[in-house]
Amino acid sequence: MPPILLAVDKTYPKGLMWFRRDLRVDDNAALYQALRACRQVVCVFVFDRAILDSLPRVDRRVEFIRESLVELDAELRSLGGGLIIRHAVAEDEIGQLARTLDVQAVFANRDDEPDALARDAKVLGALANGGVAFHTYKDHSVFERDEVLTQAGQPYTVFTPYKRAWLSKVDTFYLKPYPVRSYADALAPVPEKFKGPVPPLAEIGFEKSNLDQLEIPTGSQGGAALFDDFFQRIDRYHQTRDFPSVRGPSYLGVHLRFGTVSIRQLAGIAHQLTLQGDPGAGTWLSELIWRDFYFQILAHHPYVAAGGESRSFRPEYDKIQWHHGKHADMLFEAWCKGRTGYPLVDAAMAQINQTGYMHNRLRMVVASFLCKDLGIDWRRGERYFAGHLNDFELSSNNGGWQWASSSGCDAQPYFRIFNPVTQSERFDPEGKFIRRYLPQLAKLSNAHIHAPWTAKPLELVAAGVKLGETYPKPIVDHAEARDRTLQRYAVVKR
């Protein structure tokens, strides 16, 4: 944790707080440090064109950010400050804004994604040329970078020993909140020339999505409401988390992604409950630790998520010859559109396409299906998720896909191949999830909804299902695909 600055004799007359993936006031590390170090703090958020210009014009994540900024701006104003909103290339805008505002330092919370690091390096250079300091702080994880290492001083590549080391190190020091409001008197109002409301989506080139209809709560208040709801059932999380038709998950992924909740608060509560013997909280805490684990994997091994040149964590897996060409493209399109003929896979893809969310168990099922039933490169699925998930987190998304394809650190063995039918029977036994997203199969019996091709013709007619018309036939035979996968992966062992 960064050193605490003394309250007296503040270091800078004026500072700039640059909000990024930390859209909240409370327990915000960089905001706290800025308020402690500066007599006046001006706050800014930049709709970064370097990111936004590459996105489709309808994107739930942009709308989530915009709505969260409305709340953040109002909260800062209630404390005597406010939020400057810019729509520009951030690496250019921050330096220019620092000069215009005549600040001596810029404060931000760290982001270890490769593109963010490259952006921050350029910002650092531009600010340094103007004699402006650039301070960054840990805020997105409990432990980052080199904070949890092996006894030999190396980063962990296996989760279980990492988790043990994480738990042995964590204490109240690492989980205590930053008391931002105690120093809020240093917040400065928005200068006159920058005053104005948070711009509507159209002003930054976007259209409204279905975020309102999905009733996804935004901002700190939305994150707090979701956690309050989850807290009432966290003790059952270990029992409910794998069943997509049950309200088991916390649904806080998008809030963690954009920092509308504090990871210290969530981990602190989960850790305390775990110490009290709560099995559900212990399971959830383990998943928060997985998140830290993947962050440090990306920090130490950035090649795993290097855009179009991403490589397998385990280099030998880059020898695999994935299925490619027109037929592979056709299979990939069927997977994307939820037209594989395997109901659980198709329902899961319908969920992500319609809502931007996919249940965690289903992320594993559809990833395994793409790589090990269809033989398609995991990177194609990784990119699809990156474009569609509201809670897309580069490190976790990459880690999850490499886990499913067996190419990553501490991944499932290459010969572990999920059977989409047995997964469906086990985790959606009554077909409730399938019926929700594939209503054309709703009248099938529980016995056949997981594999409609096994139903007798009369049952299909009674259910109004015409295989190949109202619902596709399976695009691959799972048993045959499994054999091909074992042959494909054999190259790894040669």
Q: 112 in helix, strand or coil?
A: coil
Query: Looking at 18, 166, 284, 401, which residue is catalytic?
Result: 401
Query: Looking at 290, 382, 390, 403, which residue is catalytic?
Result: 290
Query: Looking at 18, 378, 397, 403, which residue is catalytic?
Result: 378
Tokens of 237: 């999380």
Please indicate whether residue 322 is annotated as part of the active site.
yes
Query: Looking at 113, 322, 425, 459, which residue is catalytic?
Result: 322
Cα→Cα distances 426→45, 165, 368, 420, Å: 45, 34, 16, 10
Query: Looking at 353, 360, 419, 446, which residue is catalytic?
Result: 360
Please indicate whether residue 166 is annotated as part of the active site.
no
Other C-beta atoms closer than 10 Å to the C-beta of 373 total: 28
Radius of gyration of the chain (CA): 24
Please indicate whether residue 453 is annotated as part of the active site.
no
**Measured distance CA(361)–CA(364) in Å, rounded:** 5
| Tokens 């920090």, located at residue | 299
Task: Find the farthest-apart pair of alpha carbons in the chain and give their distance in angstroms, rounded.
Answer: 83
Helix (H) or strand (E) segment spanning residue 16:
strand 12-19
Q: Which residues pair with 12 in a beta bridge?
A: 38
Spatial strand order of the sheet with 83-88 comes to: 83-88, 38-48, 12-19, 105-109, 133-137
Q: Which long-range contacts (CB under 8 A, 24 or more apart) does 435-441 make?
A: 436/245, 436/347, 437/338, 437/346, 437/347, 437/348, 437/350, 437/351, 437/354, 438/338, 438/343, 438/346, 438/347, 438/350, 438/471, 440/464, 440/465, 440/470, 440/471, 441/343, 441/465, 441/471
Query: Looking at 113, 144, 287, 459, which residue is catalytic?
Result: 287
What angle (nearest 5°) sits at the alpha carbon of residue 246, between those of residues 415 and 396? 50
Q: 65: which residues sit within 8 A by CB, 6+ positions away? A: 23, 47, 258
Please indicate whether residue 390 is annotated as part of the active site.
no
Other C-beta atoms closer than 10 Å to the C-beta of 259 total: 22
The residues annotated with a catalytic role in the active site are: 287, 290, 322, 360, 378, 401
